[in-house]
Amino acid sequence: MDSREDLAAFVRSLRRSHTEDASSWENAGLPSFLEALAAWIDDADGWYQNTGRELPPDGDWTFFARALQAATVYE
């Protein structure tokens, strides 16, 4: 994820995924999706530790994309 354009394309792919198979999403409704997004952002340091990656100190496009993706299944 290197640019806003990449991020926009990623978000559109999430939208397509939701349109095609919302039942596969743990958080298919907007309220639960947004809550999961906020919770994942709060807990992101744990995800980065568990996957052997370093949390970007100031965030970046990839961080935000991962946060959006995580919100589809994060509880």
Per-residue confidence of the chain (75 residues) as pLDDT tens digits? 788 899 889 999 999 999 999 999 999 999 999 999 899 889 988 999 999 998 887 767 788 888 888 888 987
Is 61 contained in some domain?
yes
Is 12 contained in some domain?
yes
How many domains is the chain built from? Answer: 1
pLDDT at 41: 87
pLDDT at 68: 86
Residue 10 vs residues 4, 46, 49, 50, 64: alpha-carbon distances, Å: 10, 23, 24, 23, 10
pLDDT at 22: 94
Please state, as a whole number, how many other Cβ atoms lie within 10 Å of the Cβ of residue 1.
15
Query: Could you tell me the pTM of the whole model?
Result: 0.74
Is 75 contained in some domain?
no
Query: Residue 49: which domain range?
Result: 4-70
